[in-house]
Amino acid sequence: MKIVKQDTKDGIIEVIPETLDDLWHLSHIVEVSDNVSSKTTRRIQDNTGDKLRSDRGVKKTFYLGIDVESINFHLFTGKLRLTGVITRGPEDLIPLGSHHTLEVKLNTPLTIKKLKWPKWALKRLKQAIDASKKLSAIIVVIEDDTATLGLMRQFGIEYYGPVKGNISGKRILDKNRNKNIIKFYESIIDSINKFDSIQNIIIAGPGFYKNDFYDYIKDKHKDLASKSIIESTGTGGRVGIHEVLKKGTVEKLTVENRVASEMGAINGLLEEIAQNSSKVAYGLTETTNAINLGAVEKLFILDKMVATNNLGQQMDMVENMKGEVMVISSEHDGGKQLESLGGIAAILRYALS
């Protein structure tokens, strides 16, 4: 995520989403009644002449602003759609006051205007920007005794390597072959370890070379193995890296990691409830009361409630009192469990009488 313009005095921030995670963050930052504007495409019918043209019209792209009425983010398709009343646009093409759905696009500027930017929303924006600085994944494609690395940067793929090994064929009698294989594998691992904050490692390539390397790190480098998955490709090198990208494996892993984090948090909450803990509050009334008393250590809130229940002030109160706020996606089982508790819950610093 990039911030192109920030004028919090007038309540305007313009951003450029660069990843699917950025769209997810924006689905929580944008609220009902915000005004958003971006480029959009709409089918315009040609009404010139005595009667309407028989076709469905022509698609045209232009800049459009809407007052948001509903926010829909589809987790597994990565689509963010904002629907509302048109407040700005070419009046010769579309009537102001009619409805339109903006589909927020990657690498396309989006301007968000709020009456006032709450602290939690600004913090969420900072989290998205900080996350963009991390290396979300390394793709390691292995073929024979050659490994090529693709580093997932915000601007695209940065290639590293190739890393070469001096490994003779299986049919050639070489008493040092196993030593050379280990040396090759350790060279790959040294290359991986040069980069900080790696979230995922995708080990790919044709044949069984990738599987042998994965088995080696499971035995010798469990920390790397815990971040790794195997993906098959038809070839090695940069072509193999592009095969992985086309499959959408990186985006899928990013979503899965986030879901796992949220599921773990909700499981912890449910364990507290199962133990009849008095340091838990759930439901809007009970949780809001705990927030007002400054008792909340961790606040869990369903994403749908952020946009529609005007809870920004309560979220700010928790953070101002050094509490933690976690927005939970409604698209997975953890979110559905939180929804059954009223869509909002908290772990408390102390029991309330």
Q: Please answer whether residues 52 and 78 qualify as being in contact, where contact means their C-beta atoms are separated by less than 8 angstroms.
A: no
pLDDT in tens, the chain (353 residues): 889 999 978 999 999 988 777 888 898 899 899 999 998 887 776 655 544 445 566 778 888 999 999 998 875 566 899 999 999 888 777 788 889 899 998 889 999 999 989 888 888 888 788 776 666 789 999 998 899 998 876 545 778 889 988 776 555 556 677 888 899 999 999 999 887 778 889 999 998 889 999 999 999 999 999 989 999 999 999 999 988 888 878 777 776 677 778 888 999 999 999 988 889 999 999 999 999 999 999 999 998 887 667 777 888 889 888 899 888 888 788 889 999 999 999 999 998 86
Beta strands in 105-260 (DSSP E): 110-113, 137-143, 146-153, 156-164, 200-205, 228-232
- CATH architecture for residues 137-247: 2-Layer Sandwich (3.30)
Return all residues near 185 (Cβ < 8 A) that are at least 6 apart.
Answer: 213, 216, 217
- Give the strands of the sheet with 58-74, arranged side by side: 2-7, 12-16, 110-113, 35-44, 58-74, 79-88, 99-104
Residue extents of the structural domains in the chain: 2-132, 137-247, 257-348
Q: What number of other Cβ atoms are within 10 A of residue 45's Cβ?
A: 11
**Per-residue confidence (pLDDT) for residue 296, from 0 to 100:** 94
- CATH architecture for residues 257-348: 2-Layer Sandwich (3.30)
Is it true that 137-247 and 257-348 share their CATH fold?
no
* Alpha-carbon 294 to chain mean position: 30
Q: Please answer whether residues 42 and 100 qualify as being in contact, where contact means their C-beta atoms are separated by less than 8 angstroms.
A: yes
Q: Which tokens belong to 246?
A: 């086309």
d(CA 167, CA 213): 14
Provide the total of helices (H) and of strands (E) in the chain, helices listed first: 11, 16
Name the burial class of residue 85, with classes exposed (0-12), middle (13-18) and buried (19+) by CB atoms within 10 angstroms of its CB.
middle
Please state whether the peptide bond connecting residue 162 to the residue before it is cis, i.e. omega within 30 degrees of 0. Answer: yes
Q: What is the pTM of this model?
A: 0.58
Class of domain 2-132 as given by CATH: mainly beta
Element (H, E) at 120: helix 119-132
d(CA 286, CA 297): 14
